[in-house]
């Protein structure tokens, strides 16, 4: 970086921009974007009335008094983030319910109206102070969609929202990222808002010129196109920005990969929650993502040229729950061990096509541990091989490659090979690199390892190549139940010993040992853990919750068998299917407490529904439940419909009333479950 600037200064003396040593290529990041990219990993916090009402999307009509954390401790959040190795915290200052975590002058739905601290509290003040204390960056999420504000849906609301942005950006010190949610629904008067993005952005940049704006389409960074934490295996940091608007829909594929020759630098940020939902719920205390899952997410985001924004929902006490923080610490410890020793530092490094007579590029800079020094090929040479050689063979299973992004993202494809005898054997072939690409490879032993840049937009400029040997992880047990109600537990790794429970307690070595499939025909849960080395090391505890087994059920809707077959296969209708009914005969009377809808992640996702129960399949009466599945399109996890009291019945009718995506008018059910 320094060298580039220096060079620019030398060349700027009156003349037009002369040829710098390495010509930048395509859209380039701003300094703030380069710094932002180097953060890699930071915390998201969803917190608000939804925490207390057990909702994902509040309606804005909730009593603000429900917001009443008993022992809120923002320092505990910051401490947890710091120990987890995160660089900052972004909090939902205002979610779709409109509730403000600070006493906004422009709303009557805020902490001031809540029961917490007799209305004298300010979550943003406490969190921003805690972030400063722990050396973390502070960021804010503000939902433009406001289901409470009376002006929503009118032009005045844009000014209200701008005023709120102004409050948040002036009162709490520096803000590194401003998160704009893409969801744009109806306000209290049934109207949707036409947002004035220019006003929103200029309001913020006037105060914080270096802030990174997150939205579906940037401009600072872009949504990665899903809420599961994965960037595309091909991931360009550039995008044709003018073609995208926040919340426009139908662009998730493109956002996942970026656009190779995009006009602007709009790098990806992968957001995901450590639990199934974004807000805390007691019901998900045992569904915190497993270590293996979180590692997979890490490698699928930071390892694919995206930043990872991991949500840790604060609970009703106002604290990060023990289960979440324990998992975060496991993740940190594992990553620390995975990347403990960079084996490339010990290698002899050579490269082909190296730029000659260059003061700034050399193969030795590939392994000097400094991002700002690099190797580059000669101008016009868009390929090159980097070889790491050792006197004694090394064993590794991770390789990390970094491009020097201030000069643009260049690499289109690369491969990794190892020398076996006299032959080079290719062990990986991939596409983009970007700021950082990490590959997980099978354990490989070799004396020479070669990274070949096979294609690039211009001469590749590579900052670092690193090799690591990560310890083998014990894979988590997978719990499955077939249609007949037989439960099978397996692990991917060969011979761990599995123990399980069916009473909700945590399994230990003293719990029953899994030896063969067992029957669980009714509603219930199974928890399992895998042990190796005589119980010394274990996997995470994995829980599975099952409804009544569908063995004796019959589907009365023609062709809908896949909706109750206990497999991920789905029943999907043709287009224009709404409203559509799914009728099931449970085969006998059951006491029903609730129904689960497992959406089909490939489409046909239902948003509005009604549920009917009947004793004879003829008289249905009024629906026992009606509503909408909040946030189901972006986060298609199992949705539960809880009945206010249990009902004895034999027939169930699930009616899909409206789609989650207006362009997709099919109805699809991966599984209908009865509890």
- At closest approach, how far in Å is the CB of 409 from Ca ion? 17
Q: Please name the helix (run of DSSP H) or strand (run of DSSP E) that holds residue 636, with its range, or none.
A: none
* DSSP per position, 41-94: EEEEE--SHHHHHT-SS--S-S-GGG---SS--HHHHHHHHHHTT--EEEEEEE
Measured from the CB atom, the residue of 350 and 577 that comes closer to Ca ion is: 350
Measured from the CB atom, the residue of 475 and 661 that comes closer to ligand FUL is: 661
Measured from the CB atom, the residue of 141 and 424 that comes closer to ligand FUL is: 141
Measured from the CB atom, the residue of 204 and 461 that comes closer to Ca ion is: 461
Q: Please name the helix (run of DSSP H) or strand (run of DSSP E) that holds residue 430, with its range, or none.
A: strand 423-430
Does 402 engage in binding with Ca ion (CB under 5 A)?
A: no
Taking the C-alpha atoms of residue 109 and residue 498, their distance in angstroms, rounded to an integer, is 50
- At closest approach, how far in Å is the CB of 89 from ligand FUL? 14
Measured from the CB atom, the residue of 183 and 497 that comes closer to ligand FUL is: 183
Q: What residue 281 binds from Ca ion, ligand FUL, none (CB within 5 to 8 A, per partner kind)?
A: none
- At closest approach, how far in Å is the CB of 401 from ligand FUL? 30
Taking the C-alpha atoms of residue 671 and residue 664, their distance in angstroms, rounded to an integer, is 19
Residue showing the smallest CB distance to ligand FUL in the complex: 183
- At closest approach, how far in Å is the CB of 308 from Ca ion? 23
Taking the C-alpha atoms of residue 609 and residue 45, their distance in angstroms, rounded to an integer, is 29
Gyration radius from the chain CA atoms:
27
**Helix and strand tally (H, E) in the chain?**
10, 32
Measured from the CB atom, the residue of 398 and 653 that comes closer to Ca ion is: 398
- At closest approach, how far in Å is the CB of 207 from ligand FUL? 24
Contact present, 507 and 541 (Cβ < 8 Å): yes
Peptide bond into 318 cis (omega under 30): no
In the block, tokens 């206010």 appear at: 644
Q: Indicate the length of the chain as a whole number.
A: 675
User: How many Cα neighbours within 13 Å face the side chain of 611?
Assistant: 24
Measured from the CB atom, the residue of 524 and 636 that comes closer to ligand FUL is: 636
CA quadruple 51, 56, 60, 61: dihedral sign: negative
Q: What residue 614 binds from Ca ion, ligand FUL, none (CB within 5 to 8 A, per partner kind)?
A: none
3-state secondary structure at position 543: strand
**Residue 484 phi, psi (nearest 5):** -80, 0
- At closest approach, how far in Å is the CB of 48 from ligand FUL? 10
Q: What residue 373 binds from ligand FUL, Ca ion, none (CB within 5 to 8 A, per partner kind)?
A: Ca ion
The DSSP bridge partners found for residue 673 are 596
Does 44 engage in binding with Ca ion (CB under 5 A)?
A: no
**Residue 344 phi, psi (nearest 5):** -70, -25
- At closest approach, how far in Å is the CB of 56 from ligand FUL? 6
CA quadruple 23, 29, 31, 36: dihedral sign: negative
Does 179 engage in binding with Ca ion (CB under 5 A)?
A: no
Strands annotated E in 95-248: 137-142, 177-180, 212-215, 221-223, 238-239
Contact present, 206 and 231 (Cβ < 8 Å): no
Q: What residue 463 binds from ligand FUL, Ca ion, none (CB within 5 to 8 A, per partner kind)?
A: Ca ion
**472 secondary structure, DSSP code:** P
- At closest approach, how far in Å is the CB of 373 from Ca ion? 4
**314 secondary structure, DSSP code:** B
- At closest approach, how far in Å is the CB of 439 from ligand FUL? 28
- At closest approach, how far in Å is the CB of 414 from ligand FUL? 33
Does 463 engage in binding with Ca ion (CB under 5 A)?
A: yes
- At closest approach, how far in Å is the CB of 92 from ligand FUL? 6
Measured from the CB atom, the residue of 363 and 487 that comes closer to Ca ion is: 363
Measured from the CB atom, the residue of 271 and 590 that comes closer to ligand FUL is: 271
Q: What residue 278 binds from Ca ion, ligand FUL, none (CB within 5 to 8 A, per partner kind)?
A: ligand FUL
Measured from the CB atom, the residue of 363 and 563 that comes closer to Ca ion is: 363
Q: What is the separation, in whole angstroms, between the first and last Cα of the chain?
A: 59
Q: What residue 383 binds from ligand FUL, Ca ion, none (CB within 5 to 8 A, per partner kind)?
A: none
Q: What residue 80 binds from ligand FUL, Ca ion, none (CB within 5 to 8 A, per partner kind)?
A: none
Taking the C-alpha atoms of residue 491 and residue 619, their distance in angstroms, rounded to an integer, is 46
List residues binding ligand FUL (CB under 6 A): 56-57, 181-183, 271, 278, 631, 634
Measured from the CB atom, the residue of 403 and 464 that comes closer to Ca ion is: 464
- Touching Ca ion, residues 353-382 (CB under 5 A): 365, 368, 370, 373
Q: What residue 365 binds from ligand FUL, Ca ion, none (CB within 5 to 8 A, per partner kind)?
A: Ca ion
Q: Footprint of Ca ion on this chain (CB under 5 A)?
A: 365, 368, 370, 373, 463-464
């Amino acid at each position: 970086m320094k060298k580039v600037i220096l060079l620019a200064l030398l060349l700027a003396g009156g003349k037009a921009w002369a040829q710098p040593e390495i010509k930048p290529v395509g859209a380039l990041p701003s300094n703030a974007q380069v710094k932002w990219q180097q953060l890699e990993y930071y915390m998201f916090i969803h917190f608000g009335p939804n925490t207390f009402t057990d909702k994902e999307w509040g309606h804005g009509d909730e009593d603000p008094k429900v917001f009443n954390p008993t022992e809120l401790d923002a320092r505990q959040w910051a401490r947890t983030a710091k120990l987890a190795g995160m660089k900052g915290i972004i909090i939902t200052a205002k979610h779709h319910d409109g509730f403000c975590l600070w006493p906004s002058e422009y709303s009557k739905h805020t902490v001031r109206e809540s029961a917490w601290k007799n209305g004298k509290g300010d979550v943003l003040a406490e969190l921003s102070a805690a972030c400063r204390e722990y050396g973390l960056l502070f960021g804010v999420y503000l939902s433009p969609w406001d289901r409470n504000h009376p002006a929503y849906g009118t032009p005045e609301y844009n000014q209200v929202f701008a005023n709120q942005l102004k409050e948040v950006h002036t009162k709490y010190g520096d803000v590194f990222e401003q998160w704009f949610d893409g969801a744009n629904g109806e306000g209290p008067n049934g109207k949707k808002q036409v947002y004035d993005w220019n006003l929103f952005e200029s309001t913020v940049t006037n105060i914080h010129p270096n802030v990174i704006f997150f939205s579906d389409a940037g401009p600072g960074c872009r949504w990665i196109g899903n809420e599961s934490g994965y960037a595309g295996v091909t991931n360009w940091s550039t995008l044709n920005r003018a073609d995208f608007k926040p919340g426009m829909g139908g662009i998730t594929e493109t956002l996942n990969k970026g656009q190779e020759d995009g006009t602007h630098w709009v790098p990806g940020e992968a957001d995901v929650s450590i639990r199934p939902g974004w807000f805390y719920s007691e019901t998900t205390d045992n569904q915190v993502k497993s270590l293996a899952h979180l590692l997979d997410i890490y490698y699928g985001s930071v390892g694919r040229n995206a930043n990872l924004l991991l949500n840790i929902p604060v609970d009703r006490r106002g604290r990060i729950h023990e289960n979440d923080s324990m998992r975060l610490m496991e993740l940190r410890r594992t990553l620390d061990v995975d990347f403990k020793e960079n084996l490339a530092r010990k290698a002899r490094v050579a490269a082909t096509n190296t730029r000659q007579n260059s003061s700034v590029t050399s193969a030795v800079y590939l392994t000097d541990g400094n991002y700002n020094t690099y190797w580059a090929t000669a101008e016009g040479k868009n390929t090159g091989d980097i070889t790491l050689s050792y006197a004694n063979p090394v064993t590794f299973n991770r390789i990390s490659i970094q491009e020097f992004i201030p000069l643009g993202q260049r690499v289109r494809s690369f491969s990794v090979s190892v020398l076996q005898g006299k032959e080079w054997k290719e062990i990986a072939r991939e596409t983009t690199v970007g700021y950082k690409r990490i590959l997980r490879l099978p354990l490989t032993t070799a004396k020479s390892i070669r990274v070949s840049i096979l294609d690039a937009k211009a001469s590749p400029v590579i900052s670092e190549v690193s090799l690591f040997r990560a310890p083998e992880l014990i894979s988590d047990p997978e719990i499955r139940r077939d249609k007949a109600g037989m439960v099978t537990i397996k692990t991917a790794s060969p011979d761990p010993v599995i123990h399980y429970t069916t009473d909700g307690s945590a399994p230990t070595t003293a719990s029953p040992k899994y030896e063969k499939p067992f029957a669980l025909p009714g509603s219930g849960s199974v928890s399992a853990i895998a042990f190796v080395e005589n119980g010394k090391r274990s996997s995470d505890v994995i829980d599975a919750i099952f409804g009544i087994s569908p063995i004796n059920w019959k589907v009365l809707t023609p062709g809908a068998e896949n909706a109750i077959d206990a497999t991920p296969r789905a029943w999907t209708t043709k287009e224009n299917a709404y409203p559509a009914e799914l009728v099931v005969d449970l085969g006998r009377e059951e006491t029903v407490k609730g129904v689960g809808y497992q959406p089909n992640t490939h489409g046909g996702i239902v948003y509005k529904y009604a549920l009917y129960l009947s004793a004879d399949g003829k008289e249905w009466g009024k629906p026992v439940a009606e509503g909408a599945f909040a946030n189901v399109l972006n986060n298609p996890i199992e949705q539960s419909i809880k009945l206010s009291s249990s009902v004895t019945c034999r027939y169930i009718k699930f009616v899909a009333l409206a789609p989650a995506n207006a362009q997709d008018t099919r109805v699809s059910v991966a599984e209908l479950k009865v509890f």
